[in-house]
C-alpha cells in the first residue's frame, strides 16, 4: 500500500466537504461494488415543492396542518421540517408539543393544545373512509409523499408533499456505476408507489419500500454477503444501516446527528454528487496504492 496516496485522497476529499474517517474507509470505498441508498432526503431533495392538505369532512385543513406541524417541530426528519416550513409560510402559530414520541422512519406522536396528535406515513387502515382512499389513490399516481394526521385517535387529514428527485441524481448514479458500483439498491421507509417510480426512472437494481430501521439493517447485511457495500442515508432511521454497511455515508448537511455519528464518511454539503467525487477519489487512491 502507498500511505501517501491515502493521505492525499483524504485531504482532497476534505477540501470538497467530504469527511472520511480514516484511511480504511477510503480503501473500502474504493473496493465497493454495491450501493444501498434511502430515498427521502438522499435521492430526493427532501425539500418538497408542493404541499396539498386534505381534511376529513367538517375539519379545517389549515388546522390539520397547524397540529401536524406543531407535533413535528422537534423531529429531525426532513418531511417534518417541510411541514413546519409550510406552517411558517402561512404564518400559523405553532404550540410547543409535549410527550413527544418519535418512531424513527414512521412519524411522531405528541400532545398539542391538549390533543394527542400523530403525524406520519402509517398505512391506510382498511376501514378508511372514502375521502382518505381517494387521497391515497391520487397520490399513488403522482408519486407524492403522504403524511397522515390523526387527532385524538381519529384520522383528521392528510398532507401530500411532492418531494422531487435531486436534479443530479441520474448523472450521479451513472458516475457511481462507472466508478465500479454495479449494483444499486434503494431501501425506503416510504410507500411502494413513489419508490418504484424512482426505481424505474433511475434504473435501480432493487427497490424495497416500507422498510423499518431493522429491515434496512437486514437489507444491508444481505448485500454484504455478496459484495463490499456502501450505504448512504440521511435519517435517524438510517443510522443502524449505516453502521451495518462496509462503508456508511451520511448526508450530513441537514441529516440527523445520529446518522452522521454512525457513518464512516460524512458529506457535509447537501450534495449527492459529492458521493461520486469521493468514489472517484477512492478509486484513484486505490490504483496508486497497488
Instruction: Report the interface residues with Mg ion, using CB under 5 A.
Output: 38, 40-41, 234-235
40 binds ligand ADP (CB under 6 A): yes
Binding mask 193-232 for ligand ADP (x = CB under 6 A): ----------------------------------------
Binding mask 149-188 for ligand ADP (x = CB under 6 A): ---------------------------------------x
Considering only residues 28, 34, 106, 172, which one is a binding residue for ligand ADP as defined by CB under 6 A? 106
> Which three-class secondary structure state does DSSP give residue 229?
strand
What string of DSSP letters covers 118-145?
EEE-PPPPTT--HHHHHHHHHHHHHT-E
**Chain centre distance of CA 268:** 16
Instruction: Give the bridge partners for 242, in sequence order.
Output: none
Which parts of 50-93 fold into alpha helices (H)? 61-71, 78-89
Binding residues with ligand ADP: total (CB under 6 A): 23
Name which of Mg ion, ligand ADP, none residue 270 binds, using a CB cut-off of 5 to 8 Å depending on partner kind: none
Q: Give ∠ CA 43-44-49 in degrees, rounded to 5.
A: 170
235 binds ligand ADP (CB under 6 A): yes
Strands (E), 4-153: 18-20, 34-37, 50-55, 98-103, 107-112, 115-120, 145-151
Q: Which is nearer to Mg ion, 45 or 285 (CB)?
A: 45
Residues that bind ligand ADP (CB under 6 A): 38-41, 72, 75, 77, 79-80, 105-108, 119-121, 145, 147, 188-190, 235, 237
Amino acid at each position: 500500500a502507498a500511505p501517501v496516496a491515502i493521505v492525499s485522497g483524504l485531504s482532497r476529499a476534505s477540501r470538497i466537504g467530504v469527511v472520511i474517517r480514516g484511511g480504511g474507509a477510503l480503501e473500502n470505498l474504493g473496493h465497493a461494488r454495491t450501493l444501498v441508498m434511502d430515498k427521502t432526503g438522499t435521492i430526493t431533495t427532501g425539500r418538497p415543492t408542493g404541499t396539498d392538505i386534505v381534511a376529513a369532512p367538517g375539519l379545517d385543513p389549515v388546522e390539520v396542518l397547524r397540529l401536524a406541524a406543531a407535533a413535528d417541530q422537534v423531529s429531525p426528519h426532513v418531511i417534518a421540517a417541510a411541514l413546519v416550513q409550510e406552517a411558517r409560510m402561512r404564518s400559523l402559530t405553532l404550540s410547543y408539543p409535549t410527550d413527544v414520541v418519535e418512531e424513527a422512519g414512521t412519524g411522531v406522536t405528541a400532545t398539542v393544545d391538549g390533543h394527542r396528535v400523530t403525524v406520519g406515513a402509517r398505512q391506510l387502515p382498511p376501514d378508511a373512509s372514502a375521502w382518505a382512499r381517494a387521497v391515497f389513490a391520487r397520490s399513488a399516481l403522482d408519486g407524492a409523499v403522504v403524511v397522515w394526521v390523526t387527532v385524538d385517535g381519529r384520522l383528521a387529514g392528510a398532507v401530500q408533499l411532492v418531494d422531487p428527485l435531486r436534479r443530479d441524481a441520474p448523472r450521479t448514479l451513472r458516475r457511481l456505476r462507472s466508478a465500479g458500483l454495479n449494483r444499486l439498491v434503494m431501501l425506503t421507509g416510504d410507500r411502494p408507489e413513489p419508490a418504484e417510480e424512482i426505481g424505474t426512472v433511475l434504473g435501480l437494481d432493487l427497490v424495497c419500500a416500507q422498510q423499518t430501521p431493522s429491515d434496512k439493517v437486514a437489507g444491508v447485511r444481505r448485500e454484504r454477503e455478496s459484495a463490499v457495500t456502501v450505504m448512504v442515508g440521511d435519517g435517524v432511521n438510517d443510522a443502524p444501516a449505516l453502521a451495518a454497511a462496509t462503508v456508511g455515508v451520511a448526508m450530513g448537511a441537514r441529516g440527523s446527528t445520529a446518522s452522521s455519528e454512525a457513518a464512516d464518511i460524512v458529506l457535509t454539503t447537501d450534495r449527492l454528487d459529492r458521493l461520486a467525487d469521493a468514489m472517484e477519489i477512492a478509486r484513484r487512491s486505490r490504483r496508486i496504492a497497488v
